[in-house]
Amino acid sequence: MTTTPEGLPVAVIGAGPAGLAAAAHLTERGLLPLVLEAGPAAASAVREWAHVRLFSTWDELIDPAAEKLLAPTGWTRPDAATYPSGGDWAEQYLQPLADALGDRVRLGARVTGVSRTGRDRIVDADRERQPFVVHIAHADGREERVFARAVIDASGTWSTPSPAGASGLPALGEEAAADRITYRVPDLQDPAVRARYAGRRTAVIGSGASAFTALASLAGLATADDGAGTKGVWVLRRGISGSTFGGGSADQLPARGALGLAAKAAVDEGHADAVTGFRTEAIERDTDGRLVLVGEDGRRLDPVDEVIVLTGLRPDLGFLGELRLGLDDRLQAPTGLAPLIDPNQHSCGTVYPHGHRELSHPEAGIYLVGMKSYGRAPTFLAMTGYEQVRSVAAALAGDLEAADRVELTLPETGVCGGAGLFDAPDAAKTDAGGCCATPEPALVQLGVGKPVTAESADESPAGGCCGS
């Protein structure tokens, strides 16, 4: 059995955007990556939201080291100024990148545990000299263990969506109502999915880009020939202010700002009703089998046919239980990174530059990168993940000068809040300033005023909540 880390690969968990970029940077540095992907194909999670268009352009979605790796293969770079869908991202970039990495990417390989060889989390003796041991469950039922000099966990948060319950736990009755609840933005171009929502009343719980996307999609269905009677009910835990719909034209990612405007149009034009200050405590069925949302304050909403829960994502930390992680007790993000992204402190997605030092843990050699590094914090961008893995790969190669160098400037976001202070129903009255490019929030009168045009709403990309 191998007992020293020299010559071993760096295990990368997840063949998504951050994981494949990490493999490209490791390869560029002369290190050997081993990418372990639980799904049957590269970017399996991204493929699950293939119908959603990102609010980042191709220029912001391609990692520089990955592009160098792709160049000799004859790969054609997509038009830098266009907005891909998740499916485009997977097929035109992520799959070719996985192909270029060849047998360094293993599919159907789900990581079930990571530890130090011969050391559980209690044992100190000679700990850091032992390689990591990674336990894998293969799709065909086989079990395997591999050894690694370091581990980069880029498994994301897609598989663990947050529940409807405002306490962070499932609402009473939520699991029993699973047949009428989804935790994803529905693909309304799929005939079977479209039939599920057409002419129905659907509650959308959440206040971020995914909720905007769902509201805009339902509004589009409501105006279609086969969607008469389609109605959305937008359920927010906080109030509505001028910043609720994002930065609009002030957002430095224009498509992200347009997405918020499309959601506002859905409400202004009567395709969705907004219910504010509502914290879901229970989900009950009425005598017709429809669902009734019950709030912590006792309010009961009119019955709905379907519920779309888009309250965020959270990291799966179970398979890392034998490692000594340093995680913020609120966000479940690395302690060095958490203060920079904490929505209790930052009203927008602007992030101070960060790399391997902010991503480090008491257990040397383990890094959480990509969406998983943010824990429960919102508004992650792919370019953030690319900068993270560039820094981590440089650190693992011993080039601390490059690892500490900052090579990232993020655009400001108008998609504010998502937790903490911004959950307060009266946040509209107290949230002033912050990092947003929008003016001080003002109450919005819904249903009046000039909505965005149908043309501008049609042109708005559906927001990329997953790694965009």
CA-angle at 185, arms to 164 and 342, nearest 5°:
60
In degrees and rounded to multiples of 5, residue 318 shows phi and psi of -60, -40
Q: Tell me the CA end-to-end span of the chain in Å, nearest whole number.
A: 41
Find residue 114's DSSP bridge partners.
Answer: 134
Q: What is the mean pLDDT of the chain?
A: 85
Kindly report the length of the chain. 468
User: Cα separations (Å) of 456 from 74, 241, 256, 258, 340?
Assistant: 36, 22, 13, 8, 34
User: What DSSP designation does 453 have?
Assistant: P
pLDDT recorded at residue 411: 59
The 3-state DSSP class for residue 369 equals coil
CA–CA separation, 312 and 158 (whole Å) = 9
Structure tokens at 180: 């009428």
Nearest Cα to 306, choosing from 287, 293, 325?
293
Burial of 111 (0-12, 13-18, 19+ CB in 10 A): buried
Residue-by-residue pLDDT tens, the chain, 468 positions: 445 677 899 999 999 999 999 999 999 999 999 999 999 999 999 999 999 988 889 999 999 999 999 999 999 999 999 999 999 999 999 999 999 999 999 999 999 999 999 999 999 999 999 999 999 999 999 999 999 999 999 999 999 999 999 999 999 999 999 999 999 999 999 999 999 999 999 999 998 889 999 999 999 999 999 999 999 999 999 877 656 666 555 555 566 667 778 888 898 899 999 999 999 999 999 999 999 999 999 999 999 999 999 999 999 999 999 999 999 999 999 999 999 888 777 544 456 778 999 999 999 999 999 999 999 998 788 999 999 999 999 999 999 999 999 877 665 543 333 333 334 444 333 333 333 333 333 333 333 333 333 333 333 333 443 343
Q: SS3 letters for 39-74?
A: CCCCCHHHHHCCCCECCCCHHHCCCHHHHHHHHHHC
Structure tokens at 358: 């902010």
Burial of 425 (0-12, 13-18, 19+ CB in 10 A): middle
User: Cα separations (Å) of 282 from 164, 236, 295?
Assistant: 9, 15, 7
DSSP assignments along 229-243, one per residue? T-EEEEE-SS--BTT
Burial of 193 (0-12, 13-18, 19+ CB in 10 A): middle
User: What are the DSSP E strand ranges found in 240-327?
Assistant: 272-275, 280-285, 291-295, 306-309
The 3-state DSSP class for residue 356 equals coil
Instruction: With beta carbons less than 8 A apart as the criterion, state whether 319 and 302 touch.
Output: no
**Tokens 């690892």 map to which residue?**
403
Using the CB atoms, write b or e for 374-391: b if 16+ within 10 Å.
Answer: bbbbbbbbbbbbbbbbbb
Helix (H) or strand (E) holding 133: strand 132-138
The 3-state DSSP class for residue 98 equals helix
In degrees and rounded to multiples of 5, residue 87 shows phi and psi of -65, -40
Instruction: With beta carbons less than 8 A apart as the criterion, state whether 366 and 150 touch.
Output: yes
Residues 429-464: pLDDT tens digits?
333 333 333 333 333 333 333 333 333 333 333 344
Q: How many CB atoms lie within 10 A of CB 234?
A: 26
CA–CA separation, 285 and 324 (whole Å) = 44
Residues 248-283: pLDDT tens digits?
555 555 666 677 788 888 988 999 999 999 999 999
In degrees and rounded to multiples of 5, residue 410 shows phi and psi of -95, 145
Structure tokens at 108: 């159907």
Nearest Cα to 89, choosing from 45, 58, 60, 44?
58
In degrees and rounded to multiples of 5, residue 57 shows phi and psi of -85, 165
